[in-house]
Amino acid sequence: MTTCSFCGREIDSEPIRDNGEVFCSRGCQQGETRTSGAHIEHTPETTQQTDGETAYFSISGMHTHACESYLERRAVTLDGVSGASASYTAEMMRVSYDPEAVERDTIEDTLSAWGYRASAPTPEETPADRNDFDFDHLRTIFSVIAVAPIYIIYAAFFYPVYLGLLPTSSLDNHAIVTGLYGPVAMFTTITIFGVGFPILRSAYISLHERQLTVDVLISITAVSAYAYSMVSLLYLDRLYLFFDIATAVIVLTTIGNHARARYKRQAVEDLTEFVDETETAARRLLEDGTTTIVPPEDCTTGDRLLVRPGERIPLDGTIVDGRGTVNEALITGEARPQRKVVGDTVIGGSIAADGSFEITVDEGATSTLDRLRDLVWDLQTEQSPAERLTNRVTAIYIPVVCVFALVTLGAWTVAGAPAEPALRTALTVLIIACPVSLSLVTPLAVGRGLSTAAERDVPVFDQTILERVTDADVIAFDKTGTLTTGEMRVAAVHAVEECDSKAVLRRAAAVESRSSHPIAAAIRDRAPDRSQAVTSFERYRYGVVADVDASRTAVGNPALFDDLNWSIPEAIRDTIDRVRDRGELPTVVGWEGTATGVITLEDQPREKWTETVAELAADDRQIVVITGDDSRVARQFEAHPDVSKVYADVPPEAKEELVRRLRDEGVVAMVGDGTNDAPALAAADLGVAMVSGSDFTVTVADALVTADDLTPFRDLFGIARGTRRRLLENLGLALTVPAIGVPLAAVGFVTPLVATTLMATGTILVLANSYRPLTSNL
């Protein structure tokens, strides 16, 4: 079988030959000409399937990414568990296991240890639906209440002495102070080992997993201050008690973690809410050929359902009519779309990439909702480059600080200083270098960016897009549904003399009842009656073909009729030319081998598209437009001074290859509606989809535009710049204090009280800076 030199698809009809190469269509031939010289290497993709079942667990008590490794190790120690993946971000765990070798309850019990609690989510539960009782919020409030008495006592009695306002003898001579040592120590113990338990546990697990996280240094600092204070209280002069410092480290970390968790949960909730809204209703076929929309749970075994291109398959079933390709990556992990014909089974939750078909619901069918958790999981578990960079910096920062503190202790000891001031100075180094603020730098900056993006109608699925979008060199817009509204309107219906225009419209609507394209919707809305029987629906490069009342009928671009070797009367060709010259879109209808009419459609450009293109091009980006329509239809876009090139007559399957070739010119951001450009969105470095598109966009897009214009897409670049700037600001605030304070503390110029104040100030500044709106950066 001959394959197209441009898109790689098999050629069923007579190929077009040019310079020793063969093409399936004129669009592919033009695409090859316009991108000649580019070289694409195709790397085979492989996937690994595992037998058994997959179980999801809600995990409470996760504190850092080190918890992921610990839980994964515990799970795989069980016989019968073949794989485990934990997500601190999603607060979930996915376990692959053999149900004959190990029970689900056993896995749950194994994971529920050391303060973790594993539970089986309900079928409707998603990452945003757990923890109705917010223990993080309670812990934060309790920490403030627990330390309040400590700071009241310190403010009344200790701080005046430390600041030189009262003599040191007042601490020993004051009967009230002497009686309050015990309560202070008690409240500190509760705070350190109660409120701070997740932090201490995380530090232990990090060391156990041979990972250095910020919780390690935070725990060392807090426990060191607590131990020093207890020893001083029991055996020394009670002058320097650092219970306030120990609790400050724990409380500030708890508050910061709570702020970080709020951003994280809000991001998951925003995503989950959108995914829940994408659950596909079922199109049940009635005996007269029409369809009715019903919830998937109302379907029973044997019901016939219609699935259109780009739609999510609502239930497991078997194809009884039609054919097409199905994307099952969400469920099976198989990256390549699977070709499906009559008799093949399809999986609920997979996507009809192209083609339309009828299915019968299988017995015990699984619905789309049962598989939505996979999508939320995959979209939320990847760490951003900034997070990975922060983790690498932390892995260096922590041992350097610890070594510096030990060197300080050794230097003071060698210099002849008594043990107490030497230990106090080393502790001061740890306090001022405590990375409470450093742990908040990335998550709070990215969290602010994600929340701002959601507020600006451009929800982000992949948080790494905030770090990558500004690197885009080429921005490719799909025309229909992106630069235009996609809300097609039938302007006129032209028919040959011997044919009725109503018959043309009625037949076209019958065929288009199986399609989800905006053109199909416009034709269906205009047609008065669509009760004809439709079978053998097929999707071609330039249109669709089906049997209408046993008569083969084609609807689509004039090139479709050339590919089918159907005749187009001269009168029809003249009509097509007149329509295109007016900038309108002609859709040709014909049956039994001859074109019999033309349906003229209008589509309006989106508001502010010219301003958006101009602003994006101002940063030396190349703007290109891709369309399957004739170049005359795209004339107004080609006339824009900032549009570098318009690729016209590009069929859907060639858009993906065109995007791959554009990537040779730099980083490509693709913007489409997902109706017939979802593979191109997936092929781009960055995929942004209009929310009005198909369900397929949810599985391939990095971000969505939920507004009626392209302004949110433009704003995404400003949000990304603002997020990067905010991250650098936070990093500067977090590192400035230790950079200046550590050397001063090492030589004794900074007291523990001042060190604590500076550390707290740095943390508060990072928190305050992160909560500032990003609007000034847009």
Burial of 268 (0-12, 13-18, 19+ CB in 10 A): buried
**CA atoms lying within 13 Å on the CB side of residue 235:** 5
**Smallest Cα–Cα separation from 102: which of 82, 130, 128?**
82
**Cα–Cα dist 649/631, whole Å:** 7
**CA atoms lying within 13 Å on the CB side of residue 772:** 17
DSSP-assigned letter for residue 323:
-
**Cα–Cα dist 411/537, whole Å:** 83
Active-site position among 215, 244, 316, 478? 478
**Cα–Cα dist 2/619, whole Å:** 43
> 478 catalytic, yes or no?
yes
Contact (Cβ atoms closer than 8 angstroms) between residue 22 and residue 7 = no
* DSSP one-letter string for 132-169: SS-HHHHHHHHHHHHHHHHHHHIIIIIHHHHTTSS-TH
3-state secondary structure of 659: helix
* Residue listed under structure tokens 């509606």: 673
**Smallest Cα–Cα separation from 727: which of 357, 449, 477?**
449
**Smallest Cα–Cα separation from 606: which of 453, 487, 521?**
487
Amino acid, single-letter form, for residue 760: A
**Smallest Cα–Cα separation from 130: which of 181, 88, 91, 83?**
91
Helix residue spans in 565-651 (DSSP H): 570-581, 609-617, 635-638
Q: Which residues contact 72 (CB under 8 A, 6 or more apart)?
A: 84, 85, 86, 93
Residue 480 vs residues 483, 656, 700: alpha-carbon distances, Å: 6, 16, 18
Q: Which residues contact 697 (CB under 8 A, 6 or more apart)?
A: 672, 673, 674, 678, 681, 689, 690, 691, 704
* Residue listed under structure tokens 């807090």: 222
* Residue listed under structure tokens 């900074």: 750
Question: What positions carry a catalytic annotation?
Answer: 478
